[in-house]
Chains A and B, each alone.
Chain A
Amino acid sequence: MAWLTEILKAVLLTLVLFTYLAVVTAMFGVYLERKISGWIQARLGPKHVGPQGLLQTIADTVKLLQKEHITPRQADVLIFNAAPIMVAVAGLLDWVVIPFGRLGDRVLVVRDINIGVLYFSAMASLTVIGILAGGWASNNKYALLGGLRAASQMVSYEIPLALGILWVAMVAGTLSTVGIVEAQRGLWFIFSVPPFGVLAAVTFLTAATAEVNRVPFDLPEAESELVAGYFAEYTGMRFALFQLGEYAEAFAMAALAAIMFLGGWLEPNLPAWLWLTLGIAGVFVVVLLVVSGAARELILQPILILLALSTALCVIMFFGVQAGRSPVLPSPVWFFTKMFALVFFLIWMRWTYPRLRLDQLLNLSWKVLLPAGLLNLLITGFLITVAR
């Protein structure tokens, strides 16, 4: 009965991963988004529920659970209900191949599927159907228009996304996510074959941002034009499921970027003196900010916190490397650090760039990213072939 134990294990892992997605990506993700957005706009963000507003999204979830489900009279009820579930499940399935770290000989991943990154892009492509179905089933002009816009945008950026993934698969020579991380032991892929690694990373991140419909590529949801686009008619928990799927996917993209370009769970392999220099520089800046009184400025406080955290990391790393420990910190710490750094980057982009127009958006995908991605593949392939 080997398969029965496997199914039981799989069910348990599903529960764990779903809880992780609901708590870490959806709830904490929304909290982070609101808090960081607040900081960038020099306001406080959520503050009242729990310490620093940490429990705000939990309160929101409880509120959403008590909201009435409104189904528009003219909607196709079955598809209307199935669409958010499909989007959420597609977001969940992305995470099957994401490795969180490595403890001893065990890699912390649900399954290291042989065709890992291909699997990832296949699952990411399923979201489009859920969005299109939801937009259509609402029988609302804005929703359908938003659904069509979202679908045409997502399919346009699926190709550059795949090209970014392929670049990594080519350099690593494998499609397995664990294999890709292991292949970066010497050098992270963002630095390999310079400058083409950076180019591939930029292609991937741009396409990933568009794929999850985030600013500056948020036309489908443009709240000022389309009243939230394809989920205009969704209320309460169904709306929350769409959000869950979207945040799960956004975090999965950040996680995949960390795995493919930033070495995943691997520790940065820097000499002790560099850690020390970085740490001292960090301490210096923090002290300068506090002494000069600039730290009392609201907008500088989050920067101060981030700076203090990274300074602490540098100092810990310095002492760890001095003591000859390797790795100094458990690997999941690094994975999450990199993933959250990329999530922070996504939120930062949101408040830096204005929304693109539809024609600009499509031009960027088909006329810039696609040729650039293909050329990047060919040139890197050529270099690798020559180097042999």
Chain B
Amino acid sequence: MGELAAFIILSCVTLIPAVVVVTSGNIVRSALSLVPTFLGVTGLYILLHAEFVAGIQILIYAGAITVLLLFVIMLTAGGTGTRIRQVNEQVPLGAMAAVWLGFLILLVIFRTPWQSAATAAPQYNIASVGTAFLTDYVLIFEVTSLVLLVSLIGAIIIARREE
């Protein structure tokens, strides 16, 4: 009962601001609406007992990526974007594509007999995630740092060109 209520509330907290993100005519409001969406997703992670992922979600998505987006908005369009048309001429097409794809995926999801193994909630902790990274997924772990390095260098080169 309580779980379902929490799930419904969190879904609304996630989905309603997400709609604002893609429909608002004011780009800064769009970017700020991302924050409740990300926090709602954090709540869903908590319901799934993935506490560490939830903490990272707040730290990276809400605390870093949103800030980066806001910076770029303020450095380029600024608030002047508020009076400029934000959508292209593909709105009906895009809406149709999104609804159709959503319908198909939902159909697949509801018709698939999922094998839910879990009945009792598992207890995850940060130590198991850390152990997984440092033993089973060590290659991913090291390659991640390469990806970070490459994107850092690439982004610096692109952003600083012509200076």
Contacts and interface: CB of A to CB of B under 8 A. Distances in A.
User: Do any CB atoms of chain A lie under 8 A from CB atoms of chain B in the complex?
Assistant: yes
A11 interface: no
A79 B32 contact: yes
Contacts of B55: 115, 118-119, 122
Contacts of B29: 76, 78-79
Interface in B25-69: 26, 28-29, 32, 35, 51-52, 55-56, 58-59, 62-64, 66-67
Contact of B62 (A79, A115, A125, A133): A125
Closest A-B pairs by Cβ, 6 of them: A125-B63, A122-B58, A122-B59, A3-B2, A118-B55, A115-B55
B59 A118 contact: yes
A148 B58 contact: no
A376 to B, nearest CB: 19
B58 A126 contact: yes
Nearest to A148: B74
Specify which of B52, B55, B66, B70 lies most central, judged by the most chain A CB atoms within 10 Å of its CB.
Answer: B55
A11 to B, nearest CB: 16
Interface in A147-161: 148, 151-152, 155, 158
Contacts of A144: 74
A148 B71 contact: yes
Interface string A309-320: 000000000000
A133 to B, nearest CB: 6
Contact of A126 (B2, B62, B71): B62
B86 interface: no
A175 B71 contact: no
Contacts of A136: 28, 70, 74, 79
Contact of B52 (A79, A115, A155): A115
A89 B35 CA distance: 14
A139 interface: yes
Contacts, number: 70
Interface residues of B, number: 23
Contact of A128 (B58, B63, B79): B63
* Interface secondary structure of B, over-half rule: helix
A125 B58 contact: yes
B19 interface: no
Contacts of B131: none
Interface string A1-37: 0010000000000000000000000000000000000
Interface residues of A, number: 27
Contacts of B62: 122, 125-126, 129
A386 B55 CA distance: 31
Contacts of A370: none
B35 A129 contact: yes
Contacts of A114: 51, 125-126
B38 to A, nearest CB: 10
Contacts of B52: 115, 118
23 contacts: A78-B29, A79-B28, A79-B32, A114-B125, A114-B126, A115-B51, A122-B58, A122-B59, A123-B58, A125-B58, A125-B59, A125-B64, A126-B35, A126-B63, A129-B35, A129-B70, A132-B71, A132-B74, A136-B74, A139-B79, A148-B71, A148-B74, A152-B71
Contact of A133 (B26, B32, B51, B125): B32
Interface string B103-136: 0000000000000000000000110000000000
Contacts of A148: 71, 74
B32 A115 contact: no
B64 A155 contact: yes
A81 interface: no
B72 to A, nearest CB: 12
A128 B31 CA distance: 14
A151 B71 contact: yes
A250 B52 CA distance: 25
